[in-house]
Amino acid sequence: MKVLQDKRIQFILTGILFVLLVNVLPLKSSTYTMLTSCVIYSIAALGFNVLLGYTGQISLGHAAFIGLGAYVSAFVTQDLKLPFLVGLLAAGVVPIILGLILGLAALRLEGHFLAIASLGFGVAVQQTFKVLTALTGGFTGKTAPSAVIFGTKLKGGPEYLAFAVIVLVILCIFVYNIYNSKTGRAFIAMRDSVHAAQAMGIDVVKYKLIAFSISAFYSGIAGSIYMHLVKYTQPDVWGIVLSINLLGMVVIGGLASIGGSIIGASFITLMPHIILEIPGLKDIPSSATIFTGLAIILVIRFIPEGVIHVIGRVKGKIFKSGGKKNELTESTESVN
C-alpha cells in the first residue's frame, strides 16, 4: 500500500488506466484527436506552471516556445529526414535558448513589467516565424510527416494518444521530482519573496534561468507532438490567444499543481467543443475566448487556489466523514 501512496506510481497507474480505457471504448477519430490535444496542452500547461505556479514568473509570450518546437520538429523530420524522436528532442532543446533569453530579460523585471516584456517577446517571435521561411515556410505554412517510432507509424488514433500520455506521465514525474528537491524549494522561496530568497543565499539568477529553461523545454515538446498530430501549422496559430489560454489553464486548474495543469488544460481545450453543442452560443464570434476570460475572472474572484484544490477539499471532507462514520460503527459494535 505504501507503494501506491507514491505520487509517481499514481501517475503511471493513471496513465495506464486512461490508455486502456480509451482503447476499450468505441471512440471516433475526432474524439481521439480531441483527447490527444488535451494531453498536448497539459504538457505545455505543466511547463508553464513550473514558471508561474512554482516561481511566480508570469509570461504572456509562451506560445512562441510551442510554435518554435513545432517548426523545429517539422524541419528536422520533413527537411532533414531525421527520425521523429530526434525531432522531438530537438524541439525541446532549441526553445531552451529562447527561454534563456527571456529569462535573462526577466532578471530585473517582475509582475506586470515582466508580463508586458514577455508579451513583446512573443509578438516578435511570431513575426519572425512569418519571415523565416527556411524554417517555417512563412505565410504558406509548414507541413510535417506522421510520427514514426522504431519503424512503427503512429496514426492520429489510440496509438498516438498512448504515446502522448506516456510523454505526459514522464514529464509529470520529472516535475514532481523537481518540486521535492532543492531546486523546488528554491523555486518556492523565490515565488514567496525574491529578497528573502536572496537573503537565504539562493542564487536567484540561476534558478530563474532554470525555471524558464524547463518551461521552454516542456512547451517545445508539446509543440512537436502537436505538429505531428495535425501535420500542418502557420504563424497565426502561435499568437497572444494561445498564451492567454495557457495562463487560463494554469489559473483555472490550480497554481503549483500537476493535476491542476491537466484539469485546466482539459477544460480550456474541451470548452470550444462544448460551446458548439449549445444552441445560440456557437453563433457568437470568439465565444470560446470570451468564456475563457470569464472563467479566469470567476476563478480568481471565488476560488483563487484553482479547481484542483477545491476538489482536494471536497475529497478530504468525504474521506474525513467516512472515517468518522467508521469509528462510530466500530465503537457501536464494541458496545453491543
What are the Cα distances from residue 220, in Å, to 64, 68, 83?
A: 9, 7, 17
Secondary structure (3-state) at 282: coil
pLDDT in tens, 111-157: 788 888 899 999 999 999 999 999 999 999 999 999 999 888 987 78
Strand ranges, E, within the chain = 142-143, 147-149, 152-154, 232-233
Note whether residue 330 is domain-resident: no
pLDDT in tens, 292-304: 788 888 888 898 8
Note whether residue 289 is domain-resident: no
pLDDT at 265 over 80: yes
Note whether residue 98 is domain-resident: yes
Note whether residue 23 is domain-resident: yes
Domain enclosing residue 117, as ranges: 7-239
Question: What's the confidence (pLDDT) of residue 283?
Answer: 74
Q: Is the dihedral of CA 184, 187, 193, 198 positive or negative?
A: positive
Q: Across residues 315-331, what is the average pLDDT? A: 56
pLDDT in tens, 33-57: 999 999 999 999 999 999 999 999 9
Contact 209, 103 (CB under 8 A): yes
Residue 4: pLDDT band (50, 70, 90) is low
The DSSP letter of residue 77 is I
CA nearest 294: which of 273, 268, 269? 268
Please work out, in degrees rounded to the nearest 5, the angle formed at the alpha carbon of residue 102 by the alpha carbons of 96 and 105: 145
pLDDT at 334 over 50: no
pLDDT at 321 over 80: no
Query: Which residues lie closer than 8 Å to 231 by C-beta, 6 or more apart?
Result: 143, 144, 145, 146
Sort residue 306 into left (φ over 0), alpha (ψ -120 to 50) or beta: left
The grid coordinates listed for 36 are 490527444
Question: What's the confidence (pLDDT) of residue 322?
Answer: 53
pLDDT at 324 over 60: no
pLDDT in tens, 209-247: 999 999 999 999 999 999 999 999 999 999 998 999 999
pLDDT at 251 over 70: yes
Between 187 and 336, where is the model more confident? Answer: 187
Note whether residue 305 is domain-resident: no
Using CA atoms in the order 168, 214, 153, 163, what is the torsion angle rounded to 10 degrees? Answer: -10
Q: Is the dihedral of CA 246, 83, 174, 25 positive or negative?
A: positive
Average pLDDT, the chain: 88
Question: What's the confidence (pLDDT) of residue 94?
Answer: 96
Note whether residue 129 is domain-resident: yes
pTM (predicted TM-score): 0.90
CA nearest 121: which of 92, 91, 96, 99? 99
CA nearest 246: which of 224, 216, 225? 216
Question: What's the confidence (pLDDT) of residue 272?
Answer: 81
pLDDT at 284 over 90: no
Number of independent structural domains in the chain = 1
Note whether residue 262 is domain-resident: no
- Round to whole Å and give the CA distance between 42 and 164: 10
Note whether residue 51 is domain-resident: yes
At 297, the amino acid letter reads I
Between 317 and 119, where is the model more confident? Answer: 119
Question: What's the confidence (pLDDT) of residue 1?
Answer: 56
